[in-house]
Amino acid sequence: MNDVISLQGISLDEEAEIIEFEEVDDEDEEEEEEEYVTLGTVERAKNPKFLLRHLFPSKSGGVPAWLDPVDLPSGMSSRCGFCEQPLQFLLQIYAPISEKEATFHRMLYVFMCPSMSCLLQDQHEQWKCRDDNLRRSVKVFRYQLPQSNPFYSSDPPRHDGTDKPSSAGAALCSWCGTWKGEKVCGSCKRARYCSEKHQAMHWKTGHKNQCRQIIYNSESSSSGSSVRLPNIDKGHMNVLFSYSIKKSFQLNILVILVACSTLWPEYEIIIEDECAFDSEASEDNSYATSMVLTPKHTKTDDTYQHFLGKFEGDSNKRSWASFQERISKCPNQVLRYCRDPMAKPLWPLSIGRPSVANIPKCNYCNGPLCYEFQIMPQLLYYFGVRNDPDSLDWGTTAVYTCLASCETSISYKEEFAWVQLYPTAPMT
């Protein structure tokens, strides 16, 4: 890998600009997390149908539950700014704002390129916050709706199994189930794709045979009866096709189904107040210690001591100790949420944090962005991310959104993420 990063700076090529990371005095951060904080933990959904969009889920992995199922991000908005491949869905948070009618429903989506090489390059780009041509491998989108809207009932869902699915939206990629399927298979005219890469991957992993069977059934059937095809079990979930010869092809799907087998596993995000864990942490300190977070989630004593050995300077050690003490209340937390104008992320390190000047203005109203939530590295553990050189790893990912949660004609509005990585070399 040609891209080299440490928390002192990043070298992408011989002429790359070297960016010095500022170190923040921990004394300025003592009261940063005194605000009301909500934690997110993950568990497998009892039924995948509970994570459909008309139930407004908070979830991680799998495919996104798009609030607006029609006008999705497209083009380069849906792609990594470096490898230019479609981004992978990381998580979404249902975060309505009761003070505004326009934000009765409000969802925040985070997407990330699964390549660590791209994330290393992203580190260089995030410091260029005022650059209009900023390239990112991590993207955040905000979408909001008033109570009265064309997609959902004004009555809240009952969550008792009687809620009706929403009407169909845009045709999605048959491979990833995430982005619009704007490309159509030239043979069967049924499968749709968001990119040439996903079309090629689907063809190699089973669609070649499925495509022939669809064409064969279409040509051999002389009636309008439904023809059932075998389950496609190559991927993340099974998908069952049915179609009518006399009518346009349709997919009968209760749950969003895709062929890709490399999506991150799907979890429901369970929301709880951090204060609820205060007593539990003191009663079970041994468990908290065993769940200490280190790069790639290795937990052996030797690895942990080697990791700590990379910290040089009292401020980084104090910051790391404070970080570990705080998360020990709930070691399996994957999310920390606090939409307060004075709130700040819980940073693992004192180096590599953004200053106020590093956070850009809103792309749409030019107003300030404020911190809203952060994604913890423990999520990678639940995703089963392997300890490979190009596997993802981060210290924390902080998300900043428009303070006014502004309204424009643009459906999905892009917000800002700041990723703090663990050190890969001794810090000075």
Whether residue 39 sits in one domain with residue 126: yes
- 349 found inside a domain: yes
Between CA 222 and CA 246 the distance in angstroms is: 9
- 208 and 270 in a single domain? The answer is no
Q: Which amino acid is at 102?
A: A
132 and 79 within one domain: yes
Identify the domain boundary among 243, 274, 293. 243
163 and 47 both lie in a single domain: yes
Find all residues with CB under 8 Å of 30, minimum gap 6, and list them.
none
Contact criterion met (CB below 8 Å) for 211 and 232:
no
251 assigned to some structural domain? no
pLDDT score for 387: 80
The number of domains in the chain is 2
Expressed as residue numbers, the domain containing 193 is 183-243
Whats the size of the chain, residue-wise? 428
CA gap 395, 419 in Å, rounded: 8
pLDDT, residue 9, reads: 35
Question: Is 35:346 a contact under the CB 8 Å cutoff?
Answer: no
Residue 29 lies in a domain: yes
> Does 35 fall in a domain?
yes
Residue type, 393: D
Per-residue model confidence (pLDDT) at position 308:
58
The answer to whether the CB of 72 falls within 8 A of the CB of 376 is no
Same domain, 285 and 187: no
Query: Residue 372: its pLDDT value, please?
Result: 98
What is the Cα 408 distance to its own chain's centre? 23
Structure-block tokens of residue 166 = 């929403």
Whether residue 89 is found in the same domain as residue 159: yes
In a domain, 405, yes or no: yes
Residues 140 and 12 in one domain: yes
- Are 26 and 101 part of one and the same domain? yes
* Sign of the dihedral through C-alpha 31, 32, 36, 37: negative
- 405, 103 in Cβ contact below 8 A? yes
Query: Are residues 8 and 98 both part of a single domain?
Result: yes
Same domain, 232 and 83: no
Question: Quick one: CA dihedral 357, 363, 368, 371, positive or negative?
Answer: negative
Residue 27 lies in a domain: yes
pTM comes to 0.82
Q: Is the dihedral of CA 296, 336, 359, 81 positive or negative?
A: positive
Asked if the structure places residue 231 within a domain, the reply is: yes
Instruction: Say what the pLDDT of residue 313 is.
Output: 62
**Residue 24 within any structural domain of the chain:** yes
Question: Residue 211 in contact with residue 200, Cβ under 8 Å?
Answer: no
Q: Give, in order, the Cα–Cα distances in Å from 111 to each of 16, 82, 92, 218.
A: 26, 14, 9, 37
Domain co-membership, 313 together with 191? no
pLDDT (tens, 9 = 90+) of the chain, 428 residues, equals: 444 333 333 333 433 343 444 555 544 544 444 678 999 999 999 888 899 999 999 999 999 999 999 999 999 999 999 999 999 999 999 999 999 999 999 999 999 999 999 999 999 888 886 666 789 999 999 999 999 999 999 999 988 878 887 778 899 999 999 999 999 998 888 889 999 999 889 988 878 777 866 655 655 554 554 544 444 444 444 333 333 333 333 443 334 567 788 899 999 999 999 999 886 655 555 444 444 455 555 444 455 555 555 555 678 888 999 999 999 999 999 999 999 999 999 999 998 999 999 999 999 999 999 999 999 999 999 999 988 778 899 999 999 999 999 998 889 999 999 999 987 644 33
Nearest to 38 by CA among 269, 228, 253: 269
- Looking at residue 423, its pLDDT comes to 78
Q: How far apart are CA 87 and CA 54, in angstroms?
A: 24
User: Do residues 234 and 347 share a domain?
Assistant: no
Please give, one letter per residue, the 3-state secondary structure of the chain: CCCEEECCEEECCCCCCCCCCCECCHHHHCCCCCCCCEEEEEECCCCHHHHCHHHCCCEECCCCCCCCCCCCCCHHHHECCCCCCECEEEEEEECCCCCCHHHCEEEEEEEECCCHHHHHHHHHHHCCCCCCCCCCCEEEEEEEECCCCCCCCCCCCCCCCCCCCCCCCCCECCCCCCCECCEECCCCCCCEECCHHHHHHHHHHHHHHHHHHHHHHHHHCCCCCCEECCCECCCCCCECCEECCCCCCECCCCCCCCCCCCCCCCEEEEEEEHHHHHHHHHHCHHHHHHCCCCHHHCCCHHHHHHHHHCCCCHHHHHHHHHHHHHHCCCCCCCEEECCCCCCCCCCCCCECCCCHHHCCECCCCCCEEEEEEEECCHHHHHCCCCCCCCCCCCCEEEEEEECCCCCCCCCCEECEEEEECCCCCCCC
Cα Rg of the chain, angstroms: 23
